[in-house]
Homo-oligomer: A and B are copies of this chain.
Amino acid sequence: MALNSPSPVVLQVEPFGGSTRRHNTSLPHLYWDDAAVTRGEGVFETLLIHDGKVANFQRHMKRLQASATQLGLAVPDAEHWGQAAAEAAADWCGQIPGKKKPQAAMTWTLTGGRASTGVPSAWITVRALSDTQLKQREEGVAVMTAERGFSFQISPTKKQKPWVSLAAKSLNYTAAMAALREGRAQGFDDVLWVEGDRVLEAATSSVVIVKKDKRLRSPEPAGEIIAGTAVAALFELGEKKGWRCKHKELSVSDLYEAESVWLLSSVRMGARVTRINDKELGSPGKDSLKAVRGLIEEALTR
């Protein structure tokens, strides 16, 4: 196809349920006194657009609302937000002739807004998938393990403080970005956060392992581990299709011993881990790969 790549779409959303406005992406839209810029006060979601539709809308919406609550931001209305998301997806897909539309990545961002107005800023973007994302879906990823270097003290007997907010999907990704830069410099594609031998999550995705007899395992989301919408979608569909799905603490050696190891996220979907540090992981065989890929794809495109 000789098509040019479709242009990104940015749709500004009135946070209190008002109108939406298509924004020219070659113009700036954030002000100098926006809390996203002055304090990093913002939350986001990244979603897959599949067949022109937003996949897993409800899960992302619930997490956006929970993240907003945790950061003390105005909580977006699901219906209004859903309409805006559909509008943005249609705008982007409208650039592509024909009925069949390629997948795209959508991002929702909600910030504390301008200090001078107090009105939250909110916008939705849609852009093409990157070549790297498509390649890693096909070929998998080599990961470097890294210690986050900090831990949470969350005591079940103490009321958890609202500012322990790693569990919110906030804009604070500096540690993840720093680790990714270091990992890439060393020839890795992604970073796997560990705490000693315990596996947490990857820089921007969740870890799932496949064990024999159709068993799926993923670390329990809590504290250091964001509740992955992709894992939730996979487990829900998996259970229906006869897989046994469980959240369970995983060690690095559990990963070595698994049939296959996957990094799950909404847009890249499943990227199989082919190497952990200097240790290559064996391939699980064509049938197993096909079954897992099929399940992931179905779960994440609904």
Contacts and interface: CB of A to CB of B under 8 A. Distances in A.
Interface stretch (A157-165, A214-222, A246-254): A157-165
The quantity of this chain's copies bound in the complex is 2
B37 A42 contact: yes
A178 interface: yes
A31 B32 contact: no
A32 B29 contact: yes
A146 interface: yes
A8 B148 CA distance: 39
Given A28-B29, A28-B30, A29-B31, A175 B165 contact: yes
A107 B38 contact: yes
Nearest to A173: B39
A171 B172 CA distance: 8
Given A32-B23, A37-B37, A72 B161 contact: no
B175 A39 contact: no
A204 to B, nearest CB: 9
Contacts of A146: 161, 163
Nearest to A32: B10
A171 B112 CA distance: 13
Interface residues of A, number: 59
A19 interface: no
Contacts of A175: 163-165
Contacts of A174: 39-41, 71, 163, 165, 168, 170-172
A159 to B, nearest CB: 11
A33 B152 CA distance: 31
B150 A150 contact: yes
Interface string A161-187: 111111010111111111101100000
Contact of A40 (B154, B164, B171): B171
A20 interface: no
Nearest to A149: B164
Nearest to A112: B177
Given A153-B151, A162-B178, A37 B41 contact: no
Interface string A42-65: 101000000000000000000000
Contacts of A107: 38
B149 A154 contact: yes
Q: Pick from A38, A154, A176, A179 the residue with the most CB of B within 10 Å.
A: A38
A150 B149 contact: no
Contacts of A123: 32
A205 interface: no
A301 interface: no
A36 interface: yes
Q: In the A-B complex, list the 7 residue pairs whose CB atoms are closest, starting with the nearest.
A: A149-B164, A163-B178, A30-B30, A40-B171, A39-B173, A172-B172, A40-B40
